[in-house]
């Protein structure tokens, strides 16, 4: 009898980290979709930059005869605009070189980063407010009104009590939080007791807060003495958020934003209340059956979300504005909606999204000053990023992304 041939088993080669990374780089996980969304927004923004410049656009009239003129002018304009955007957001390499060589000041080198962090700080709080409510199944469109109430309460406390330096700042911050809590508690209570939709009630409260602020700043005892315009007394220096470096605008609010982000992440993932709100957000009927009070969760959730937005308003008035005006809150509440969406309703993602929006705002100021590009174009870039983030199927179709599960990285979307 002849022996049967034996087959040797080849050892299974273990994939290296680099191979796994490259194989999964083009899968449709949230990181890839977000990065490609930003890339698409930048590309479309470049086209809009060219179209908005009449001098460059004129060169396309004879594109078939001399295409180099149009292409060179377009590239020069786009590269200069985006270069100024980066320099205004992160810093100018020439300023850093002058600082390191001793011929320049460190304040000039770090001023762009300071502006980015200053713009980002209040957006972190309003973004967390929206994302936290969304994780509990509620659409908090009222972050703007809650931030306005935070501005009002913090501003009034800042120039009224005259407490010692540390105590005055703490009281003003707490007042801002309580103002936001009040403005978030009302729609939460209405939702829990009457079933009133939170989108409608929070939108109405946005208008109410804005009108109340416009009326308040011209009242006796609040309006700045000797002024006829709508502006309040200045916040006492003891209630102002301390800045870094003296001449830089960045203040303690950005540190507070990081701490609060960590606190919200713990609240969502490690606390009993976080479990309850995620359960209610996933399926309120099942949560009710399991013994969770949906009405109480809605009320507390909106109050906490309002407090976060109120803290953002307090940061705005105590860190940059130092006085109440009808426009003191700007659009930080509405921008917080975009920040939460870009951050996938995750605490740390919201923080990174706020930094991106702050960088776009700071860089847009320089781009407007040096390149003559309209600041509204930066808003267009923000809108394009959000559009592509909100439509991941479009990004997947454009770049032919593979499914994340088949690629090995099962990144599940955030549940609302």
Question: In degrees rounded to 5, what are phi and psi of residue 402?
Answer: -80, 160
Tell me what pLDDT residue 412 has: 41
301 pLDDT above the threshold of 60: yes
Domain boundaries in the chain? 27-60+67-87+374-411, 120-359
Per-residue pLDDT tens over the stretch 128-159: 999 999 999 999 999 999 999 999 999 999 99
- 161 in Cβ contact with 175 (< 8 Å): no
> End-to-end CA distance of the chain, in Å?
70
Tell me what pLDDT residue 387 has: 83
CA distance 300 to 281: 14
Tell me what pLDDT residue 386 has: 78
Q: How many percent of the chain have pLDDT more than 90?
A: 64
Per-residue pLDDT tens over the stretch 325-337: 999 999 999 999 9
CA distance 367 to 373: 6
Tell me what pLDDT residue 391 has: 78
Number of alpha carbons in the 13 Å side-chain half-sphere of residue 67: 1
Tell me what pLDDT residue 394 has: 82
* Helix (H), strand (E) counts: the chain: 18, 0
Question: In degrees rounded to 5, what are phi and psi of residue 222?
Answer: -110, -45
Q: Which residues contact 270 (CB under 8 A, 6 or more apart)?
A: none
Q: pTM for the complete prediction?
A: 0.86
- Calculate mean pLDDT across residues 8-17: 59
Tell me what pLDDT residue 372 has: 77
407 pLDDT above the threshold of 50: no
The mean predicted confidence, pLDDT, of the chain is: 88
300 pLDDT above the threshold of 70: yes
User: In the structure, what pLDDT confidence band is assigned to residue 396 with cuts at 50, 70 and 90?
Assistant: confident
- Looking up tokens 């315009």 gives 229
User: In the structure, what pLDDT confidence band is assigned to residue 389 with cuts at 50, 70 and 90?
Assistant: confident
CA distance 353 to 244: 23
Per-residue pLDDT tens over the stretch 86-108: 999 999 999 999 999 999 888 88
119 pLDDT above the threshold of 90: yes
Question: In degrees rounded to 5, what are phi and psi of residue 268?
Answer: -70, -40
């Amino acid at each position: 009898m002849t022996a049967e041939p034996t087959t040797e088993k080849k050892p299974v080669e273990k994939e290296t980290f680099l191979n796994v990374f490259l194989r999964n780089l083009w899968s449709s996980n949230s990181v890839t979709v977000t990065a490609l969304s930003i890339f698409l927004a930048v590309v479309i923004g470049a086209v809009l930059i060219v179209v908005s410049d009449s001098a460059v656009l004129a060169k396309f009239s004879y594109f078939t005869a001399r295409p180099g003129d149009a292409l060179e002018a377009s590239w020069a304009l786009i590269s200069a605009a985006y270069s100024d955007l980066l320099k205004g957001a992160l810093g100018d390499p020439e300023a850093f070189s002058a600082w390191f060589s001793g011929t320049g000041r460190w304040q000039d080198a770090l001023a762009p980063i300071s502006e980015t962090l200053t713009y980002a700080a209040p957006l972190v709080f309003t973004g967390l407010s929206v994302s936290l409510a969304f994780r509990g199944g509620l659409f908090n469109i009222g972050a703007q009104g809650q931030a306005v109430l935070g501005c009002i309460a913090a501003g009034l406390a800042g120039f009224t009590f005259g407490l010692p330096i540390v105590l005055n700042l703490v009281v003003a911050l707490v007042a801002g939080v309580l103002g936001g809590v009040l403005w978030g508690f009302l729609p939460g209570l209405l939702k829990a007791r009457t079933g009133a939709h939170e989108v409608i009630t929070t939108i109405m409260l946005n208008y109410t807060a804005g009108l109340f602020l416009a009326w308040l700043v011209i009242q006796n005892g609040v309006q700045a003495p000797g002024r006829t315009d709508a502006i309040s007394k200045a916040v006492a220096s003891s209630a102002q958020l301390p800045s870094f470096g003296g001449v830089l605008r960045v203040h303690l609010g950005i540190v507070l934003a990081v701490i609060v982000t960590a606190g919200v992440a713990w609240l969502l993932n490690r606390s009993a209340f976080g479990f309850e709100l995620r359960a209610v957000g996933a399926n309120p009927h099942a949560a009710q059956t399991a013994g969770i009070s949906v009405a109480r969760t809605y009320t507390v959730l909106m109050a906490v979300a309002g407090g976060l937005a109120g803290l953002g308003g307090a940061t705005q008035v105590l860190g940059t504005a130092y006085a109440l005006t009808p426009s003191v809150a700007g659009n930080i509440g509405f921008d917080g909606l975009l920040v939460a969406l870009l951050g996938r309703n995750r605490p740390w993602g919201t923080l990174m999204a706020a930094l991106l929006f702050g960088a776009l705002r700071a860089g847009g100021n320089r781009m407007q000053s040096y390149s003559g590009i309209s600041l509204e174009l930066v808003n267009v870039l923000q809108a394009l990023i959000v559009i592509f983030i909100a439509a991941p199927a479009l990004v997947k179709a454009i770049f032919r992304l593979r499914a994340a599960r088949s690629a090995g990285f099962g990144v599940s979307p955030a549940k609302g």
